[in-house]
Amino acid sequence: METAEARYQSLMRAIARHAPTTDIALVDQAYRYADMKHKKQLRKSGEPYIIHPLAVAEIVVEIGLDTDAILAALLHDCLEDTDASFDEIARLFGRTVAELVEGVTKLTRVNYSTTEEQQMENLRKMFMAMSKDIRVILIKIADRLHNMRTLEYQTPAKQKSKSTETMEIYAPLAHRLGMQKLKWELEDISLQYLDPEGYQQIVDYLQAHKDADDRFMQSIQQKITERLESVGIHGTIYGRIKHVYSIYRKLKDQHKSIEELYDLYAFRVIVDDIPDCYNVLGHIHDLFNLVPGRFKDYISTPKPNMYQSLHTTVIGSEGIPFEVQIRTWQMHETAEYGVAAHWKYKQGGAGAGEEKEFEWVRRLLESQQDTEAEDYIHSLKVDMFNDEVFVFTPRGKVISLPAGSTPIDFAYAIHSAVGNSMVGAKVNNRIASFDMKLKNGDIVEVLTSKSAKGPSRDWLKICQSNQARIKIKQWFKKEKREENIVHGKASFEAELKRMSIDPAVLQNEEVLPTILRKVSFDCLDDMYAAIGYGGMTAVKCVNRIRDELVKANKSLPAKDLTPKALQGVGKKQTVTANSGVIVEDIGSCLVKFSRCCTPVPGDPIIGFVTKGYGVSIHRCDCPNASPTLIERQPDRWVRASWADTTGEEPFATSLEIDCKDRDGLMLDLAMVMTSLKIKVTEISCRAVPDGKAIASLTFTVHDVAELNNVTAKLRSVTGVENVRRGKS
């Protein structure tokens, strides 16, 4: 078992290597103070608790932060777990250190496994902390990394929940901050607990082929080294196997076994200056065969997280392809540690609020004002974690947008006032339609007018960025309430008609308050206005109302929801064995769930008495349970509902997804299901005309709420245009 003193000496060695200008006396004082405060506390491993703050401080040193950050790392759990106070820490170590500790403490209290409303507030805390001082989130990532390194001492349930949280929040955040080295380790450890079998298969394969891989990489390194020495370029070459999670994603994406993968190797050539980067690129292409379409220049066009490198994929004489990344030493440090490396080159230690590199943080913060929880969570998924496209303003400023963005998205990325006054756009000096998909390198100019009438409702269907969608909804909410009410009421009543629900139920004074509570509005006009400006969909409102009415009168199919029916008389109800379904006026009988509509608990349902096969349960909106069909054989249709105990066992269901056909689509869909811990039994995809595809997923859920959550997450995947219920 490691001692606190041994870990402290390890920290001192790290400081000597990476941060020799650190104030050692202050570090020692902070260590002694934290050790005193945590004296009686132990980690799950049985080690003294102080070992954790020491380990976090060492990570902070390795990524290049300053003395204040190192002190805050040592003290980061004192406010949460001991009797230490903000004022005491400020008096001993300075107000900046105390504020860093307080910021990390607030993030430690965040619980990500919550409802979306709570999650929005939790994420707001995180981004607010980042906007004030980026070191807060860097220390928190270091804290999470050490906790993941020691996850073996936690319970299996805790291991999975922390790994999911890390994969969904911390690894993408590290990526967005350019901290690739930490991102890779976070992903690999998370995978180890989320799919231990898949993880171990890759590790075993790499270990078995280690000698052959080492020989291959040494031969490539030698060829590059000899060429650079012959032309007088000083460079350092590293070769590596791609990390485990990267290989795991390739296996899922390409539907291959690990033996069939070939793109496993990556080499880095690190040189002294930018001209040498391009010189090396020429020599690499002379030594090896270029793979067309695989060259990227991130030096002339850096990523928003400051990443710069030249990327090219080539094929060696052995016929094995590999990637080469070429960069300077400063670029390399930025690639490894992102914004943390940038800290070394800043003067004065100001917070991140004044740094142009973190405009994406401010954009996300802007969207939180007056925004629905589900919209914001979706915004985070689309705008932070998905692919991007890089375009230019006429003055050459780089604007990053989600892939598939349009001129409308560009306009709102500049400013909401620009988007609201937009009347047209030019792309590469040519007039462009509002729905044109922007490509990397496009030069976009927004045409505005003071007499513009504001955004169109159709823009909500066109734009890809949730920032644009949120700002458009905010404009309608503030500027067009009366119009919103009219528009929203029409949409709502049309949806009621589609669902065969009598609008007169809203006049029932006993029912109306319950309905309004269900949709979280004070009056009908507020609900209509929200539908009108896009804050709530008519479909969602009607579904919630329908569910509430069905719940109030469980035996009633949705099509019969009329004021008269709501006064209904109860009938005999019998829970059929092992089905979780109540069928009226029929004793215990065989129940099966129809494959044409795959009902799950929470769906309004109806039963059809078959000849010799019991009762077949359909969703009330199933085409095979239409009013016309019911009228033809009324004696064979029976009322049915879900028993209160339903939801304990999973039910099979399926979704069909209309989407744009693109590389990596199936992987992204599968990753969504994995992140939600949904058991998928079948997944397939078929191409259709016009570059489109239809994906089919068969899986199990416990109820319609879980299914709706899956549907919402799948809709956030880039290229997905529609998600609908399918056949099992």
- The values of phi and psi at residue 604, to 5°, are -60, 130
Q: How far apart are CA 17 and CA 507, in angstroms?
A: 75
Burial of 255 per CB tally in 10 Å (0-12, 13-18, 19+) = exposed
| Dihedral over alpha carbons 516, 522, 525, 529 (to 10 degrees) | -90
DSSP strands (E only) in 441-501: 444-448
Measure the CA–CA gap between 520 and 706, rounded to whole angstroms: 20
Q: Return the active site residues.
A: 80-81
User: Of 195, 194, 110, whose CA–CA distance to 144 is shortest?
Assistant: 110
**Strand partners of residue 21:** none
CA atoms in the 13 A half-sphere facing the CB of 428 = 7
Tell me how far apart the alpha carbons of residues 701 and 649 are, in angstroms, rounded to a whole number: 8
Q: Give the tokens for residue 537.
A: 């969909």
> What b/e string do you get for 574-595 counting C-beta neighbours within 10 Å, with b at 16 or more?
ebbeebbbbbbebeeeebebbe
**How far apart (Å, rounded) are the C-alpha atoms in residues 186 and 52?**
17
Please, which residues bridge with residue 241 across strands? 265
- CB within 8 A of 10, min separation 6: which ones? 54, 58
Residue from 514, 520, 542 nearest 373 by CA: 520
How does DSSP assign 636-668, residue by residue? GEEEEEE-TTTTSS-EEEEEEEEEE--TTHHHH
Helix axis angle, 86-93 relative to 95-108, nearest 10°? 140
Cβ partners under 8 Å of residue 60, min gap 6: 69, 70, 73, 138, 139, 142
Instruction: Give the position of tokens 């199936």.
Output: 666
Please provide residue 48's backbone torsions phi and psi, each rounded to the nearest 5 degrees.
Answer: -55, 140
Angle, helix 180-194 to helix 244-254, in steps of 10 degrees: 60
